[in-house]
Amino acid sequence: MAMGISEMSFHSTTRLYAQHFCTASPFTSPLRKSAKVNHRRSLRARTWVISEKLHNFQKINLSQPLQSRKKFTECHCQQASDIANLSHDEANSTWVQDAVNKVSQVLGSTNGQSAIEFENGSAAKHGEDPTLVMPEPAKNLQPKKTRGSSLVEDEAWRLLVESMVYYCGSPVGTIAANDPLDSNKLNYDQVFIRDFIPSGIAFLLKGEYEIVRNFILHTLQLQSWEKTMDCHSPGQGLMPASFKVRTVPLDGDENATEEVLDPDFGEAAIGRVAPVDSGLWWIILLRAYGKCSGDLSVQERIDVQTGIKMILKLCLADGFDMFPTLLVTDGSCMIDRRMGIHGHPLEIQALFYSALMCAREMLAPEDGSADLIRALNNRLIALSFHIREYYWVDMKKLNEIYRYKTEEYSYDAVNKFNIYPDQIPPWLVEWMPSKGGFLIGNLQPAHMDFRFFSLGNLWSIVSSLATTQQSHAILDLIETKWSDLVAQMPLKICYPALEGQEWRIITGSDPKNTPWSYHNGGSWPTLLWQLTVACIKMNRPEIAERALEVAEKRLSIDKWPEYYDTKSARFIGKQARLYQTWSIAGYLVAKLLLEKPDIAKTLWSEEDAEILNALNVMVDPTNPRRKRGKVLKKTYIV
Ligand code: GLC
């Protein structure tokens, strides 16, 4: 893909510059003094400015006299918007106090007292490092009933605010889980990109835009960071799975500390999986930020435009693949462990499609991006045709597969992927309702993964990857199969669970993914928000309302678990974290959207007329180019 030279050099210069600034020599880096800190990768929050001419960097902190540096002892940072010294120069330093005030208003504080008790604006710094301050346990903060909201909702807001993570005094994200009694936090004390999406949307829906803007801009800085695993570097456009704010001693000054952002691109994550979904969610959130806040200046920034292009470049790069779907390893999305979802899992395809749609809306039309936009448009068409045509199953389609002939060698084979009818699992023959259908979990040569994956199906509705008819059919299926998919807690991550020999082979006998637990058929309250957006889009909010009612009965009492176990979601998950932020935020987003369904349209993409026309041409039997799928005129080297 032809990326403008100036953009590329901007990005790589940023990287070099940041490397110079952030790591100096690895041998002298103060980060080496901290056993827990990896010297290679963290983004240091020092004061530095990029001049308006993007290539003309000016570093200001290292050359400052010690005297003036000292006053930054606690914090050496500038705000995210200052990093590129572009459109936002309003001082952000009062954000914390503002946030406290505003969220108090949100929670409808009484007697002039804030419902969220912050002291000195520093109450919510998280992390296991002794240098970071843990929030006060929630016990002092009793939920207050506010007008028009429920106790549960008020508690959820308070917990969400408590989960906020600060970098140099500004909120930059939310911690994944915030259970003060949990002694084995693993990486749940980090800000996960995917986990922050419902938090970010909850803040956007409440008019709290700054935390989202900061998150977008800081994670953008991490995108271009050097990342390696055993001497191998993944693509530059990769966004981290998560990051942590650490406080470390400042170079050459034992009395001073500085905060650093330490990203994990999968090099430390359990299983070492590359977070393919992070960049896709980042683009989706960026568009939601613009739509909700009306502030388009963030997406218009050159560094943000370059960030979008780098993600696209990584996704649209040519490979060996025959399919327009994105080829990924197992566990590269919300299901971040081995679960047999390598290849072309639906969740990634739905997010990919959605990110392409959102990016197309935001990319500035300029000469340098014409090829990219054409490649993007072509991919949208091919992807939507592929998924709508080959991933869809309902009674009719299942019966067709059941009667498939195999070993067809020709361009117009009916059974293109050589699927053996015996692959249709016995459970599906019973389970498929006569009304309704769904997109299967994965498609590979001679293999269809017939499991129902909730997020992939819901996000296909939200992004208009599924047709209107298919979208309704997915919701029909959720209604008909309520006792399997919702039962006592919405929503099953996938259905059914892998059991017995299948579980042993596919998960590698993973003790966390036992049948009907965690990723293997567990129930995840966070999925409520995606369900709600999908239902509102299809004008069927009553389905989401019903699910919310089920969730509301238990979530607060059960301390907001990460997931629930058993076939009907009766138990709190075996190893589920409590006070899991995206369970809290997912609930809040669902609640807010159902109260004001009109705002939900800022989160979905409408079916695009151009794509629809192209698809019609592709399935038009009178079109001679149709058979070998040569409707798209030109290919582009990305
Ligand atoms: C688990 C989930 C993953 C989530 C993470 C942090 O690993 O599988 O999707 O991002 O926890 O909550």
Residue-wise pLDDT for 234-245, tens only, equals 778 899 999 999
Residue of 534 and 110 predicted with greater confidence: 534
Ligand 1 center to 288 CA (angstroms): 22
Residue 599 has pLDDT above 50, yes or no: yes
Convert the pLDDT of each residue in 377-429 to its tens digit: 999 999 999 999 999 999 999 999 999 888 888 788 888 888 888 899 999 99
| Pocket mutation for ligand 1, best pick of 335, 336, 560 (most atoms within 8 Å of C-beta) | 336
Looking at residue 609, its pLDDT comes to: 86
Q: Please tell me if the CB atom of residue 175 comes closer than 6 angstroms to any atom of ligand 1.
A: no
Asked if 589 and 202 touch (Cβ cutoff 8 Å), the reply is: yes
Burial class (CB in 10 A: 0-12, 13-18, 19+), 626: middle
Measured from the CB, is residue 246 less than 6 Å from ligand 1? no
Distance CA 206, CA 270 (A): 34
Task: Give the chain's mean pLDDT.
Answer: 79
pLDDT classification of 631: cutoffs 50, 70, 90? low
- Interval 432-451 mean pLDDT: 95
194 lines ligand 1 (CB under 6 A): yes
Nearest C-alpha to atom 1 of ligand 1 is from which residue? 336
**Atom 9 of ligand 1, nearest CA residue:** 334
Q: Which residues of 44-65 are buried (b: 16+ CB within 10 A; e: fewer)?
A: bbbbbebeeebeebeeebeeee
Which DSSP state fits 389? I
Mean pLDDT calculated for residue range 509-526? 97
273 CB near ligand 1 (under 6 Å): no
Regarding the beta carbon of 202 and ligand 1, being less than 6 Å apart is answered no
* Contacts of 214 by beta carbon, 8 Å cutoff, 6+ apart: 79, 80, 92, 167, 170, 171, 172
Query: Which atom of ligand 1 is nearest the CA belonging to 582?
Result: 12
Cβ pair 191, 243 in contact under 8 A: yes
Report helix, strand and coil shares of the chain as percent, to nearest 5: 45, 10, 45
- State the pLDDT at residue 531: 98
pLDDT over 50 (residue 114): no
100/24 Cα distance (integer angstroms): 37
DSSP letter (8 states) at residue 140 = G
Give the pair of three-digit tokens for residue 138: 């929630």
Query: Residue 71 carries which DSSP code?
Result: T
Q: What is the pTM of this model?
A: 0.81
Hey, which residues does 437 pair with through a beta bridge? 394
Of 192-206, 362-376, 597-611, 620-634, the least confident: 620-634
- Distance, CA 336 to ligand 1 centroid (Å)? 7
Q: What are phi and psi of 68, to 5 degrees?
A: -75, -25
Please report the atom of ligand 1 found closest to the CA of residue 176. Answer: 12
Which is nearest to 584 in space by CA: 284, 239, 203?
203
Q: What is the residue with the minimal CA distance to atom 2 of ligand 1?
A: 334
The predicted structure's pLDDT at residue 300: 96
Percentage of the chain beyond pLDDT 90 is 58
| Helical ranges in 134-260 per DSSP H | 151-162, 193-205, 210-223
CA 342 / ligand 1 centre spacing (Å): 17
Residue nearest ligand 1's atom 3 by CA: 334
Mutate to test the pocket of ligand 1, among 165, 242, 523, 562 (most ligand atoms within 8 A of CB): 562
State whether the beta carbon of 551 lies less than 6 angstroms from ligand 1: no
Q: Is ligand 1 within 6 A of the CB of residue 195? A: yes
Sign (positive or negative) of CA dihedral 80, 86, 91, 95: negative
Given the CA of residue 518, which atom of ligand 1 is nearest to it?
8
Residue 267, ligand 1, Cβ within 6 A: no
Determine how many CB atoms are found less than 10 A away from the CB of residue 237: 20
Residue of 189, 194, 341, 517 to mutate, ligand 1, most atoms within 8 A of C-beta: 194
User: What is the sign, positive or negative, of the torsion defined by CA atoms of 181, 183, 185, 189?
Assistant: positive
Q: 523: CA distance to ligand 1 center in Å? A: 13
Q: Check if 258 has its Cβ closer than 6 Å to any atom of ligand 1.
A: no
Ligand 1 and 485: CB distance under 6 A: no
Report pLDDT for 413.
84
Report the alpha-carbon distance of residue 260 to residue 263 in Å, rounded: 10
End-to-end CA distance of the chain: 3
- Assigned token pair, 122: 């520093």
Q: Region 473-486: what's the mean pLDDT? A: 98
CA of 562, closest atom in ligand 1 = 12
Identity at 431, one-letter amino acid code: W
Distance 231 CA to ligand 1 centre (A): 26
For tokens 């429920």, the residue is 150
Which atom of ligand 1 is nearest to 270's Cα? 7
Mutate to test the pocket of ligand 1, among 195, 337, 530 (most ligand atoms within 8 A of CB): 195
Question: Among 175, 192, 277, 507, which is best to mutate for testing ligand 1, by the most ligand atoms less than 8 A from CB?
Answer: 192
For residue 462, pLDDT over 50 is answered with: yes
Report which of 455, 471, 599, 485 is spatially closest to residue 540, judged by C-alpha positions: 471
| Residue 29's pLDDT band (cuts 50, 70, 90) | very low
Taking the centre of ligand 1 as the mean of its atom positions, its distance from the CA of residue 242, in whole angstroms, is: 10
Q: Is the CB of 334 under 6 A from ligand 1?
A: yes
Q: Mean pLDDT, to the nearest integer, of 317-335?
A: 90
Task: Give the pLDDT band (50/70/90) at residue 79.
Answer: low
In 163-258, which ranges are continuous DSSP H helix?
193-205, 210-223
Work out which ligand 1 atom sits closest to the CA atom of 192. Answer: 10
The tens digit of pLDDT for each residue in 115-150 reads: 233 333 333 333 333 333 333 333 333 344 545 568
pLDDT on residue 281: 98
Q: How much distance in Å is there from the Cα of 579 to the middle of ligand 1?
A: 13
For residues 436-455, give the mean pLDDT. 95
